[in-house]
Amino acid sequence: MSTILETQAEASTARRALQRVKEHLSARSFLAAGQWAVTLLICAFLIVPVVMSILAGLTVNYFRGVSSGLTLRWLGEVWTQYHGSVFLSLEIAVATLAITLVIGVPAGYALARSKTRASRIVEELLVLPIALPGLASALALLVLYGGFTAFRTSAMFIVVGHVLFTLPFMVRAVAAVASSADLRTLEEGAASLGATFRQRFVTIVLPNVRPGIVAGALAVLTLSIGEFNLTWMLHTPDTKTLPVGLADTYASLRIEIGSAYTILFFLMTMPLLVAMQWLGVDATGQRRAGAKKRKPPRAS
């Protein structure tokens, strides 16, 4: 009899445990479903307006919708009127990237190596242009350099503004990677073998901070191409960039033209974003592979 009672008790305990497991799995499934629902709603909230804008730029009449038919007429008109802005924006973005690479990579490395109060003050001063409104930074540039007519009316004037705005993103990205990587040990080892500072910087520092450089370059390019507030105040009729042209189309032309301009903007930036993201993933993978190769063997 006692054996039967023990068996029944064990069976009852097993059933309760199984019930608790089912309830736990059910709760987790419900939580996962809720997370997916929230994620899909956020994606829809972000993507649907873009899709609607693209459709508006491809329809014959925006107010009649897709039923009015699809056309590439508006894209043709936008390209005819604003293709100069496309190339100008690319030139300004590339020039901005080149300058921020030359200045930002060494600056980020130096800030990561230095732990003094002065380096922290310099780092905070670099971030200052981000804290200020773009119009305020543009006004400061106009007050300082507005008297130099040739410089004021050139695209380099906008490049200077973009460098001031985007440089902190490059410096912060490089400094973050340089701080986390064990560069000091690697450099000391190379120095003990007779490597000069230039050799150490090129062969050790740059390969190890490559993920930060790629992340900073992505930020610089996208911010430079899409920057409006600062550019709107610095531009002239001969130096009109993509965001400024986009604002003009929405303010003075048909909504189909503005939407077609958005498509042009999208087609120009998306391949760039995908390429830079691919480079970032590739750089991170190579860095991890290199770390695994340098991992010392376990003692047997």
For 258-272, what is each residue's pLDDT tens digit?
788 888 878 877 777
Coil, helix or strand for 133? coil
Residues 6+ apart with CB under 8 A from 87: none
The topology (CATH level 3) of 75-290 is MetI-like fold (1.10.3720)
Higher pLDDT, 171 or 267: 171
pLDDT band at 3 (very low <50, low <70, confident <90, very high): low
Tokens for 167, please give them. 């440089």
Q: How confident is the model at residue 96 (pLDDT cuts 50, 70, 90)?
A: very high
- Average of pLDDT values for 158-178? 89
Confidence check: pLDDT of 111 > 80? yes
Half-sphere exposure of residue 201, counting CA atoms within 13 Å on the CB side? 10
Residue 246: which pLDDT band, with cuts at 50, 70 and 90?
confident
pLDDT at residue 162, rounded to an integer: 92
How confident is the model at residue 181, as a pLDDT? 61
Q: Which of 258, 268, 289, 287 is nearest to 94 (CA)?
A: 268
Which helix or strand (DSSP H or E) is residue 141 part of? helix 134-145
d(CA 124, CA 41): 38
DSSP string, 190-255: HHHTT--HHHHIIIIIHHHTHHHHHHHHHHHHHHHHH--HHHHHH--TTS--HHHHHHHHHHHS-H
* pLDDT recorded at residue 195: 80
Res. 235: pLDDT tops 60: yes
pLDDT at 285: 57
Rounded to 10 degrees, the C-alpha dihedral 23/29/35/39 comes to -170
Spatial contact of 247 and 228, defined as CB atoms under 8 Å apart: yes
Helix axes 155-180, 134-145, angle to 10 degrees: 120
Closest CA to 88 of 167, 32, 156, 179: 156
**pLDDT reading at 212 higher than 80:** yes
Task: Tell me what the pLDDT averaged over the chain comes to.
Answer: 79
If you average pLDDT over residues 118-133, what whole number do you get?
78
Nearby residues of 280 by Cβ (< 8 Å), 6 or more positions away: 211, 214, 215, 218
